Chain A
């Protein structure tokens, strides 16, 4: 029972953590929340859906979908952020919302308002049993993928010069620029990595729900946002931690709440999040000292 709970939390948490990490990367540099972030899941879903008829194997389709995701993320920067970045925070909030709405409506107009089925390889849903735990294969794959991604990601941030430059820019963007680190390179890299992480997490998400509809982006955006708020908006470790904590809270309520209250689970989760924020308004991990928007 306890082991089952741990596996459930970890598999949900891996997805949440990757989502949150993608959001906090851009926030860390620009100090702006990318509200078009959730739409990356929409891109993943519809990309795989549209490739359904193609002769490619599934892994290749999801690979292309992730590439599309990276591309869309970078496009968000060029369309919604770059033109108004220097001018005002409000403008960027509105343009990122607008870009999200644009993508949603494109899906609505060009495809359909109805949920569409996203094909997933059938082995992902097969159940495996070990040590008394029964879980679908996709849950174990989620955990594995997250561990590998997080390891590579943190190695990149620690060992590579570009990773160092990203961390420096997140602390003090102007100072980083005064050392010759090009702003546009850092921002584009942040959006690209954000797209990659959202793409990977989105594929895992798809393997769970197997469908896509125009409004699909809201929930992942909310999850990523809440996870980063819990963990601390300025810290990449915080985002990962926040993702797992949110999964822990969600899953605990899944186990504890009686069946007829379960549909109000999110209300319980949010109340709990508010409680965390009352105790630690900065989030659990504080991150670098200077977090002012520059």
Chain B
């Protein structure tokens, strides 16, 4: 069964059309990557699923019911957590406070909060070391970890990850992807990942969609596509 199903999605900001037509689906436990160049509409698609960007047209279903018109907070409470492109951690709050806020919807259940917090700190020990530091003082990679850890605090069924490699040094990207792979192994979390960094993303993905100028141009199995696809064409056109 499909956990997430996006049908005929269109996103526009005023007159500007960011996403023309996107159809995609993600099955439970799957890791699906949305690949594309700058401005292809990847982030808009993701934010629109999360309920932040206005949907011009189209339909988004999660676990069999429509979430098209729901607010971001409602969508999160159904089990979709988002790690946005710029990480968007709260820079003037402590690392620990960021983590605590991530668990906002579980606030009445201190046992779950404690348990998930321990899991997050196990996954990212550096965050534990820095928990009393102001989040804005973390390095880019640490901020990315914090954004992921914060999202996990809501004990989501599905994670929307927007370009975790953005602006990070290659060795740090390597590390972040190791963490994501580890996360995948330890849980049955379903992931929809948006990336420009094709090779890195393909290494952990089950399936791939290619997005170009607001439209899905092709899709397929990650392992097959890795070798056969003409990436130049996807990114730069003919």
Contacts and interface: CB of A to CB of B under 8 A. Distances in A.
Contact of B104 (A165, A171, A172): A165
B128 interface: no
Interface size class of B (residues with CB under 8 A): 20 to 34
A161 B107 contact: yes
A175 B107 CA distance: 18
Nearest to A161: B107
A168 B101 contact: yes
A176 interface: yes
B92 A177 contact: no
Given A164-B100, A165-B101, A177 B73 contact: yes
A179 to B, nearest CB: 6
Nearest to B76: A180
B73 A168 contact: no
Contacts of B31: none
Contacts, number: 75
Interface stretch (B33-41, B83-91, B137-145): B83-91
B101 A164 contact: yes
Interface string B162-174: 0000000000000
Given A179-B154, A180-B154, A167 B92 contact: yes
A183 interface: yes
B71 interface: yes
27 contacts: A161-B107, A164-B97, A164-B100, A164-B101, A165-B101, A165-B104, A167-B90, A167-B93, A168-B90, A168-B93, A168-B101, A174-B52, A176-B101, A177-B52, A177-B71, A178-B50, A178-B52, A178-B82, A179-B81, A179-B105, A180-B77, A180-B105, A182-B73, A183-B72, A288-B90, A288-B91, A290-B88
Interface of B: 50-52, 71-73, 76-77, 81-82, 84, 88, 90-93, 97, 100-102, 104-105, 107, 136, 150-151, 154
